[in-house]
Structure 1
Amino acid sequence: MTSDTGPDRYLQRMPKTDLHCHLIGTVRATTFAELARRSGLDLPASPETIYRDVNSLPPDPKLYEHTRIPVPRGRAADEPEVSYSLFQVSRWIVEALRDADDLTRITYEAFEAAHRTSSVRHLEVSFDSVPTHLESLGYRGAVDAYAEGIRLAERDFGMSGRLIAAVDRSTSAEQALARVREVVDNPHEYVAGIGLDNLETAGPPERFADAYRLAGEAGLRRTAHSSEHAPVAHNTITCIDLLGCDRIDHGYYVLEDDEVVARCRDERVPFVVAFTTSRRSWRPWRRASIAAMIDAGLNVILADDDPGLFPTTLADEHRIASEELGLDREKLRAMALAGVDACWLPDGEKEALRDRFGAEFDTLDAEEAAV
């Protein structure tokens, strides 16, 4: 619960962008419960229990034996007896969706929650390929449904939003190319770019060079999960140089290579990060890694990734930055403005958003000074 005064109030009210948010990961527990029961989904436990016990177990610890920031090997104190992985729960959520109205609903609710809990002014959400049971919608029908949710949120909350077409890195190069070709052949004002999702160890960035080249030629913006699951820094350089990424999602393992850190610092590469993860045992490592990235001078921007499932909010992520990392308001303001600079709005809208942030911060600071 956010207090009416003091630090919590400031962190909740400060204007924000959220540039790394998976749409399926925003679905509320109450919405999933309703959709699952309506659909008669066969689940191993109640929807409420499943949401409560989301916890992705770490992979083979031998992969992370020699990282600069030690990766935890034990269990977290809050790990449930029975865990449900982020990917499994996401699949169940997708199975519970039945039509275009459901897609519009979850999109609208993602924007509503971002606005209400965290004062998000611009939200970019990634969406997956159309599942088989909704294939009658087609790519365009699904995107139109998502876009309707954004339009309603823009009307109701004064926000802006964009969609990011997710490329599943567990698929082949040919499948990824087909996915991007679908996006390119069906241009939509709300689809700003593509992102490379799923476990980094399932598909190296080199596999997707052709798909990303096609996206770049079509004027789409590009990002990718990188240096998140594979404990190497060079994947991030590959994403920048070969895939042409404008920004990087996560990027914690760039800390393994001082030269990569120096280059990314000098080039002001945006790293869109989240303290909270479904791997509960890794949360301390995440926080230590982000602290080290900030100390190294990297361009770090806070996000909330899968806020409905972790659960977290973008205000919560800022609270961690303030209380656990000791970031002051000046630093948080600079990070918020860096989020505006890294967003995928057209230049004119981006400039207007930056002016809005400046005015809102000035008003908020004045109000806080008067308390």
Structure 2
Amino acid sequence: MADELTPFLTALPKADLHCHLLGTVRADTFAELARREQLDLPEAPETIFASINSRPPDPELYRSTRIPMPQGRSADEPETSYSLFQVSEWVREVLRDADDLTRITYEAFQAAHAAGTWHLEVSFDMVPEHLAHLGYARWVEAHAEGIRLAERDFGMTGRLLAAIDRSGTGEEALEWVRTVTAHPHEYVAGIGLDNLETAGPPERFADAYRLAGQAGLGRTAHTSEHVPAARNAVTCLDVLGCDRLDHGYFVLEDDAVVARMREEQVAFTVASTTSRRSWRPWRRASILAMLEAGLNVFPCSDDPGMFPTTVLAEYGILAEAGVPVQRLTEMARASFVASWLPEPQKAEVLNRFDALVDSLR
């Protein structure tokens, strides 16, 4: 980012609302845990992290998008690539007890704090088989303890989102949400729909989302990220009842949908940086087009430990692309408005935000 903007953007309070917990794990933490567990890996853990580069889906899907999609490899792609999903699975394998879960949660908040984040919402997955002995309640409490420690040490706030894997069935998702709602926790504020959008349409998960809404949980979903159409974003609003949307770049394919999103000021969490390195220029162009169209977008870190990036870096990318400071400030404020903090706490944070921004000006 431009040097003169660095102090301002660092001090600018930010809420990061789209962040996958496994994707926050640092290379050095993964290396330590992988060696502890003697995980059989094809290369050194540090080399694997430096070589994360997910291959895009079938390029034929993206031949005629409004913002041209790069079709070839990018200059920064490593010779040997590891997909984000494969590395995430390896990270999952080396997590062995509640202390590991608390550690990675705390470290996620520690890194976010260094980037000027005041509020962080992280997604956690279903309990894997090798940690089934913890049960859901202890699984969530281990993550929550990491947040409590971060709140104590950094003065931050945080919440958890229960992630639904869209490569599974609607019945599996419903059972997962039943588990979540049967064990309410003060830090579990909502649900999200993750994984490749090409795995299937979001309406398969309508029952799970309906149950979450009845329980008072917030709802979001990855949408219009991999399928080059706007229809899934509309489904997420009208069928799943989402409060905000993750990504959403392909809403630009439909002018009527763009107009609706602008009129309703639907909140989108966006990230210029992705594990699909060849897509990064397209992502940045899409976000700028969404801003130009008047959509309510604000940066997130997504998988900051693995890309790698930070929410500060994501604001910096937009600043370098010419987004004015006033607009960046409005985006930061909008991120708090869209958060799933309780309303009294949200109002307090927004008052603090306004006072600090006035002093920075």
TM-score, length basis structure 1:
0.96
- Alignment match, 1:223: 220
- Alignment match, 1:99: 97
- Alignment match, 2:77: 79
Moved runs in structure 1, 4+ residues, more than 4 A? none
Q: Do residues 246 (structure 1) and 239 (structure 2) align?
A: no
Q: Do residues 16 (structure 1) and 14 (structure 2) align?
A: yes
Where do 1:187-266 residues align within 5 Å?
187-266=184-263
Counterpart of 1:211 in 2: which secondary structure? helix
Q: Do residues 273 (structure 1) and 270 (structure 2) align?
A: yes
Aligned-pair CA distance for 1:59: 1.2
Query: C-alpha distance in 2, partners of 1:179/1:333?
Result: 37
Query: C-alpha distance in 2, partners of 1:217/1:253?
Result: 29
Counterpart of 1:253 in 2: which secondary structure? helix
Query: C-alpha distance in 2, partners of 1:6/1:69?
Result: 31
Counterpart of 1:278 in 2: which secondary structure? coil
Query: C-alpha distance in 1, partners of 2:125/2:226?
Result: 20
Query: C-alpha distance in 1, partners of 2:33/2:356?
Result: 37
- Alignment match, 2:158: 161
Amino acid of the residue matched to residue 262 of structure 2? Answer: R
Q: Deviations over 1:295-320 (max 9, x none)?
A: 00000011010000000111110110
Amino acid of the residue matched to residue 269 of structure 1? Answer: V
Query: C-alpha distance in 2, partners of 1:166/1:49?
Result: 28
Give the number of aligned pairs.
361
Q: Do residues 355 (structure 1) and 351 (structure 2) align?
A: yes
Aligned-pair CA distance for 1:12: 1.5
- Alignment match, 1:36: 34
Aligned-pair CA distance for 1:220: 0.7
Query: C-alpha distance in 2, partners of 1:190/1:303?
Result: 20
Query: C-alpha distance in 1, partners of 2:320/2:249?
Result: 20
Amino acid of the residue matched to residue 279 of structure 2? Answer: W
Query: C-alpha distance in 1, partners of 2:32/2:8?
Result: 34
Structure 1: 5+ residue stretches without partners: 366-371
Counterpart of 1:124 in 2: which secondary structure? strand
Q: Do residues 333 (structure 1) and 329 (structure 2) align?
A: yes
Task: Choose which of 261, 285, 288 in structure 1 pairs with 2:285.
Answer: 288
- Alignment match, 1:108: 106
Query: C-alpha distance in 1, partners of 2:356/2:106?
Result: 24
Query: C-alpha distance in 2, partners of 1:327/1:353?
Result: 25
Aligned-pair CA distance for 1:6: 2.4
Q: Deviations over 1:204-246 (max 9, x none)?
A: 1010001001111111110000000111101000000000000
Aligned-pair CA distance for 1:66: 1.3
Counterpart of 1:135 in 2: which secondary structure? helix
- Alignment match, 1:318: 315
Counterpart of 1:18 in 2: which secondary structure? strand
Query: C-alpha distance in 2, partners of 1:30/1:233?
Result: 39
Structure 2: 5+ residue stretches without partners: none
Aligned-pair CA distance for 1:203: 2.1
Query: C-alpha distance in 1, partners of 2:135/2:353?
Result: 37
- Alignment match, 1:368: none
Where do 1:36-185 residues align within 5 Å?
36-116=34-114, 118-185=115-182
Amino acid of the residue matched to residue 156 of structure 1? Answer: D
Aligned-pair CA distance for 1:360: 1.6
Query: C-alpha distance in 2, partners of 1:50/1:92?
Result: 10
Counterpart of 2:220 in 1: which secondary structure? strand
Q: Deviations over 1:336-363 (max 9, x none)?
A: 1100110000100000110111112122
Amino acid of the residue matched to residue 93 of structure 1? Answer: V
Query: C-alpha distance in 1, partners of 2:263/2:269?
Result: 17
Query: C-alpha distance in 1, partners of 2:266/2:352?
Result: 24
TM-score, length basis structure 2:
0.99
Counterpart of 1:134 in 2: which secondary structure? helix
Counterpart of 1:136 in 2: which secondary structure? helix
